[in-house]
Amino acid sequence: MKNQYKVLVALVLAHLLVLGAWAQPVQNKPSNCDINKDGESPVNLKGDFCNNKYELKFDLGRGATKMECEIHKYDKEDEQKYVNVTVGFKNPNTSITVKANNTVYSFLQFHFHNASEHAIGGNKDSMEVHFVFKNLEKGKEKDKLVCGILIKADGRDNTFFEPVLNALKQTLAGNHPELEINLSDLGGKMGLDKYMNTYYNYNGSLTSPPFSTDVNWFVSANKLTISKRQLEDFKKLIYKYENGKRYRIGIDRKIHELDGRPIRKK
């Protein structure tokens, strides 16, 4: 009886060991997680991800601010030839900051791309918005931090995007409208802090000249939505002339290889 009892205990233990082994998550941490290497953007965000190493803390300020609207010329076929790649708003505003661990970055401008520049798991979306921040303490960390949010055109009209579109249309008509932005909308309607609660992070570059590889990139895993009509309206703003003819073009730089750079995921 005693031996049979021992066998039974051994069998139960063996089962528990096997079950325990199954219950353990497979550690699939990539081998390049500690590599600190620079490279170009955008990239395809896929594969095995490394652990997040940053805590982002946004301070979006209070009240409203006026922003200037700009539309830049763009030549997709010859990257070096174009003046700039984006439509955007410039108004250096030090009251808006983001802190990545201990480094403070100050808000410079935001702008849009069509189609999205980054791909997630190989899939691009209709558009992408970039919030560009600059490092206030030179020599520490990267010079810039950019937050990117991919935009799907399968929702209702986005109430933040609508006045932006109107200001861009006026700019194209030769006017210089100032756009009043409610700072809380950058967080609420544009998702700047809210949508950045889950993201992909990697070392990358500016996606327009001078393409400098000094950017700490954070691409949200959440997506904003606009309506199909708003997407079509935006596309009408982006074109180039060739031999007297007007062509509609995209403003998204081609995907670049990671070439060993790790992607961290929160």
Cα–Cα distance for residue pair 242/49, rounded to 1 Å: 43
Report in angstroms how near the CB of residue 21 gets to Zn ion at its nearest: 46
Cα–Cα distance for residue pair 145/214, rounded to 1 Å: 8
**DSSP at 214:** -
Closer to Zn ion at the Cβ: 209 or 260? 209
Query: Using CB under 5 A as the criterion, what x/- string covers residues 81-100 for binding Zn ion?
Result: --------------------
**Owner of token pair 């081998």:** 31
Amino acid at 165: L
Cα–Cα distance for residue pair 109/130, rounded to 1 Å: 8
Number of residue whose CB is nearest Zn ion: 130
Closer to Zn ion at the Cβ: 130 or 142? 130
Report in angstroms how near the CB of residue 150 gets to Zn ion at its nearest: 12
Contact 235, 204 (CB under 8 A): no
3-class SS of residue 232: helix
Report in angstroms how near the CB of residue 18 gets to Zn ion at its nearest: 51
Report in angstroms how near the CB of residue 229 gets to Zn ion at its nearest: 23
Report in angstroms how near the CB of residue 86 gets to Zn ion at its nearest: 5
Instruction: Please tell me whether the peptide bond between 177 and the residue prior to it is cis, using omega within 30 degrees of 0.
Output: no
The yes or no reply on residue 253 touching Zn ion (CB under 5 A) is: no
- Contact set for Zn ion, span 110-139 (CB under 5 A): 130
Closer to Zn ion at the Cβ: 50 or 124? 124
Per CB under 5 A, residues contacting Zn ion are 130
